[in-house]
């Protein structure tokens, strides 16, 4: 797959990357909105939440988020809409059909770069482990597949086996940091926020790719903050 600089030029016209960091208070509001949407879905569709596929649960969450934009004035001021499986372009344009699970379009952010949420089921009995969560989710942000123009993104877990960030994710990332060739490029281990929004923590990770349309030294994207929201 060859890079497509023209795709990147079209997306980033007039922008300097990475985009300015989103305010932590706004990200906490997003986390609260995701948590509330999940709780509402679980109350109405318990079977799907307990045993449905990742796509089934995420589709229901997407619907609730979009209902909230019309019912909650505060949420509607911050979020324009949520879109599931919106095709996106990788950092160099070599892949133009990437499909993150949820793209949240913010009123304050360019439409070409929504806030990305990648969702994963955690269920040890079906081999959906924290390692898979990282390998098939977290890594996509580190290699420039998702959220490459941004400084933050969400990983959202539908927890079915009692897993927690403290019990599973933090030890896994700490072990990876000690390796000679770490896979997850951890700069900061998950740090919990001051909110009561489920199991919510933020970790930072170094990104290795560079921007095609910016000359050194501004071609370095810098680290990305991953907000982990684990929903039981």
State residue 189 phi and psi, 5-degree precision.
Answer: -70, 160
pTM: 0.96
pLDDT of residue 29: 94
pLDDT of residue 194: 66
Q: From residue 164, give the alpha-carbon distance in Å to each of 21, 42, 51, 178, 226.
A: 27, 19, 19, 21, 16
The mean pLDDT values, 10 residues at a time, for the chain of 232 residues are 94 96 95 96 97 97 97 94 97 97 96 98 96 97 98 98 96 97 97 81 96 91 98 93
For residues 74 and 54, the answer to whether their CB atoms sit within 8 Å is: no
pLDDT of residue 198: 76
For residues 105 and 81, the answer to whether their CB atoms sit within 8 Å is: yes
pLDDT of residue 197: 75
């Amino acid at each position: 797959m060859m890079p497509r600089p023209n795709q990147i030029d079209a997306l980033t016209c007039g922008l300097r990357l990475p985009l300015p960091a989103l305010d932590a208070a706004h990200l906490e509001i997003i986390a609260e909105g995701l948590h509330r949407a999940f709780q509402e879905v679980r109350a109405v569709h318990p079977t799907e939440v307990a045993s449905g596929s990742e796509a089934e649960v995420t589709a229901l969450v997407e619907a609730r988020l979009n209902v909230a934009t019309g019912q909650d004035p505060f949420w509607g001021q911050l979020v324009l809409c949520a879109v599931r499986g919106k095709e996106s372009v990788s950092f160099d344009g070599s892949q133009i059909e990437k499909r993150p699970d949820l793209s949240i379009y913010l009123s304050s952010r360019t439409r070409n770069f929504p806030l990305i949420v990648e969702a994963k089921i955690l269920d040890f009995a079906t081999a959906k482990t924290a390692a898979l969560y990282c390998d098939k989710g977290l890594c996509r942000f580190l290699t420039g597949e998702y959220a490459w123009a941004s400084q933050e993104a969400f990983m959202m877990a539908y927890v079915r086996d009692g897993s927690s960030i403290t019990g599973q994710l933090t030890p896994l990332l700490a072990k990876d940091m000690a390796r000679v060739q770490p896979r997850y490029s951890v700069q900061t281990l998950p740090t919990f926020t001051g909110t009561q929004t489920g199991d919510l923590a933020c970790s930072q990770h170094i990104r290795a790719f560079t921007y095609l349309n910016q000359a050194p030294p501004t071609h370095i994207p810098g680290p990305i903050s991953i907000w982990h929201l684990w929903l039981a």
